[in-house]
Amino acid sequence: MAAKHISWAEPFKIKMVEPLFMTTRAHREKALEAAGSNTFLLRSEDVYIDLLTDSGTSAMSDRQWAGLMLGDEAYAGSRNFYHLEEAIHRYYGYKHVIPTHQGRGAENLISKILIKPGDVVPGNMYFTTTKLHQELAGGMFTDIIVDEAHDPNSGFTFKGNVDLSKLQGVINTYGAERIPYVSIATTVNMAGGQPISLANLQALREFTSKHGIRIIHDMTRVAENAYMIQQLEEGQGNKSIAAIVKEICSLTDGATMSAKKDALVNIGGFLATNEWDVFEEARNLVVIYEGLHTYGGLAGRDMEAMAIGIEESVQDAHIRARVGQVFYLGHKLLDMGIPIVKPVGTHGVFLDAKAFLPHLRQTAFPAQALAAELYIDSGVRAMERGIVSAGRDQKTGEHCFPELELVRLTIPRRVYTQAHMDVVAESVQRVFEQRHSVTGLRMTYEPKYLRFFQARFEKLPAA
């Protein structure tokens, strides 16, 4: 964890501010009850420091805001689309681009195009929306990430790595022809924001090429992954973030992007591919689900902000400060003795709810209960990433029981200060001191898809 000691002072100063409001404990108790103990159902007005997600919550730069004024809102062939296309060619290197309203729009397209019923999609851990689109297209996701990724206490540096022997096992069972692609995320969100190494990706490229299998890259946090490679991978320290990002992309055949994360915009995404046939099909399908292939559900101004955000996101000084702030919070919590996923990830700090609340069984939703408790304590909003997020098994209808039962303190980019991180750490510490009095939850409403977004819960009585 060498990056801990690097100065991460922000390479910007603040030009515009938005007031925050603190609420009383009594107010928060009422608000949480109205939200069915689900932080997704809180009104943001009732939140003090919002660490629900780093998605769409970044502060844009003055250049991006200026870009909004240059929106060319033509229905077809907007100038901003060509700027976006240029930025993607320059910084990511993919040949063909289809804008989408956000990441899951791109996931829908690629899943529909490449997956046939009965197919199997191996990946370095699941992501909620990605997996669901694979399933809706008739496919089955299967996890081929290294075992270390499922252990919050393993200090392994590249927990996003693929275990090639697991991939070989999937090929032995199903045959390469039933694997339309391997789904690779940089970084791995559900493992705690953990990176894949360049060496592992290179080995995967070699392996999949031999079997004629594509790699589709979920590049939502690719710059953050590149930073970890630059800091921690043998022989990569002298490369720029921009160079590593491009190298990662060059090892894959196509990508889905939620530009709401790395690319520093409040809305937007795209599908990219190096294959003409896939592009043609996507260009046709996008008009059904998103809009014409030169806007994909976005305003011209959104595409302009994205083009500028992509360029800003691969600057070394930016990414050092971004990950530096996450590391600051993570190491502060570690110093306090709080159980978190190790090593600290790049977009947030993940509390280990199983270790935090060992008296709660997993069916009492410990991470959901912990996120609720943290909100009550200080108005800090976090997100459950455990059994609720994992959903139910497609075949048996039973809960999936993930090894990792986590609460994610996700840090928006360029939004909060070091002092805010201190407030968060102090609140986590207070909840930790009172952890024995935290009770579990019972689910009272469960939506069919992606239940974590809208599920409702009730507190169980104290044991």
Active site residues: 75, 127-128, 218, 261, 385, 452
Query: CA 273 to CA 94: how far, in whole Å?
Result: 6
Q: Tell me the window of 73-81, 96-104, 163-171, 247-255 that interacts with ligand F0G (CB under 6 A).
A: 96-104
Query: CA 319 to CA 3: how far, in whole Å?
Result: 12
Least separation in angstroms between residue 39's CB and ligand F0G is 12
Displacement of CA 192 from its chain's centroid (Å): 9
Contacting ligand F0G within 153-192 (CB under 6 A): 185, 189
Query: CA 459 to CA 440: how far, in whole Å?
Result: 6
Q: Tell me the window of 26-34, 123-131, 287-295, 318-326 that interacts with ligand F0G (CB under 6 A).
A: 123-131
User: What secondary structure letter does DSSP report for 46?
Assistant: G
Token reading at 27: 């107010």
Token reading at 402: 């993930």
Query: CA 136 to CA 111: how far, in whole Å?
Result: 8
Burial of 130 (0-12, 13-18, 19+ CB in 10 A): buried
User: What secondary structure letter does DSSP report for 451?
Assistant: G
Contacting ligand F0G within 332-391 (CB under 6 A): none
85, 143, 148, 218: which one contacts ligand F0G (CB under 6 A)?
Answer: 218
Helices and strands: H and E segment counts in the chain: 16, 14
Contacting ligand F0G within 46-75 (CB under 6 A): 53, 55
Residue 220 found at the interface with ligand F0G (CB under 6 A): yes
DSSP assignment of 161-186 = -B-HHHHHHHHHHH-GGG--EEEEES
Residue 129 found at the interface with ligand F0G (CB under 6 A): yes
Residue 269 found at the interface with ligand F0G (CB under 6 A): yes
Least separation in angstroms between residue 173's CB and ligand F0G is 26
Residue 37 found at the interface with ligand F0G (CB under 6 A): no
Residue 294 found at the interface with ligand F0G (CB under 6 A): no
Residue placing its CB nearer to ligand F0G in the complex, 187 or 364: 187
Report the SS3 class of residue 208: helix
Least separation in angstroms between residue 370's CB and ligand F0G is 17
- Nearest residue to ligand F0G by CB is 103
Binding region for ligand F0G (CB under 6 A): 53, 55, 102-104, 127, 129-130, 185, 189, 218, 220, 258, 260, 269
